[in-house]
């Protein structure tokens, strides 16, 4: 018995493929971040509490975190190539991506799923009230932007 391997797609296969493509484009489970890319090292000043708050957000988002107290955070930021204009209180490293400050974890995941080769890191400069780890008891939120940066220190607003 022979089989024809050049048949067209069935309607079910075509619809399934289209649904999978839509999930990939929308950033759904089909494009999930691999388990190995979920190990995160967070460097923080030993006296900073909001860094631990951001680490808790990372754990809730499914990252395995290791927090390292680093008294010389300026040296950590220099070593990892964080542009001075984007500095915040803590710096993380996950799958080769630098995460500076109170970046929402959905943005980190989005970059890990489809990271452009030129992106070295992502950052939220300063410590905006209401950002992850900087929640306010009264629910107040300060507007903030998320930036990406390259190895040369050039930054742009993340879309």
Calculate the dihedral angle through the C-alpha atoms of 27, 29, 31, 35, rounding to the nearest 10 degrees: 130
pTM metric for this prediction:
0.79
Instruction: Decide: 71 and 120 in contact? Cβ < 8 Å.
Output: no
Residues in the chain: 159
Can you tell me the distance from the alpha carbon of 98 to that of 42, in angstroms, rounded to the nearest whole number? Answer: 10
pLDDT of residue 2: 36
Can you tell me the distance from the alpha carbon of 74 to that of 89, in angstroms, rounded to the nearest whole number? Answer: 10
pLDDT of residue 33: 76
Can you tell me the distance from the alpha carbon of 103 to that of 14, in angstroms, rounded to the nearest whole number? Answer: 38
Ordered structural domains, the chain, with CATH? 36-157 (3.40.30.10)
Write the DSSP string, the chain: ----TTPPPPHHHHHHHHHHHHHHHHT-GGGPPPGGGGEEEEEE-TT-SHHHHHHHHHHHTT-EEEEEE-S-HHHHHHHHT--GGG--S-EEEETTEEEEES--HHHHHHHHHS--TT--EEEE-S--TTSTT---TT--------EEE-TT--EEE--
**Bridge partners, residue 124, by sequence:** 101
pLDDT of residue 32: 74
Consecutive sets of 10 residues in the chain, 159 residues long: mean pLDDT of each?
34 33 36 78 94 96 97 97 97 97 97 93 97 96 97 95
**Bridge partners, residue 42, by sequence:** 67, 92
């Amino acid at each position: 018995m022979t089989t024809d391997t050049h048949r067209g797609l069935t309607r079910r296969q075509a619809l399934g493929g289209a649904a999978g493509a839509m999930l990939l484009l929308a950033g759904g489970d089909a494009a999930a971040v691999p388990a190995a890319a979920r190990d995160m090292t967070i460097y923080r000043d030993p006296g900073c509490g909001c860094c631990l708050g951001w680490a808790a957000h990372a754990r809730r988002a499914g990252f395995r975190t290791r927090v390292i107290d680093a008294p010389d955070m300026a040296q950590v930021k220099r070593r990892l190539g964080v542009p001075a204009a984007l500095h915040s209180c803590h710096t993380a490293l996950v799958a080769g991506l630098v995460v500076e400050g109170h970046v929402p974890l959905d943005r980190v995941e989005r970059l890990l799923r489809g990271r452009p080769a030129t992106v070295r890191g992502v950052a939220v400069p300063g410590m905006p009230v209401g950002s992850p780890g900087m929640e306010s008891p009264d629910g107040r939120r300060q507007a903030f932007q998320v930036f990406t940066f390259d190895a040369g220190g050039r930054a742009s607003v993340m879309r």
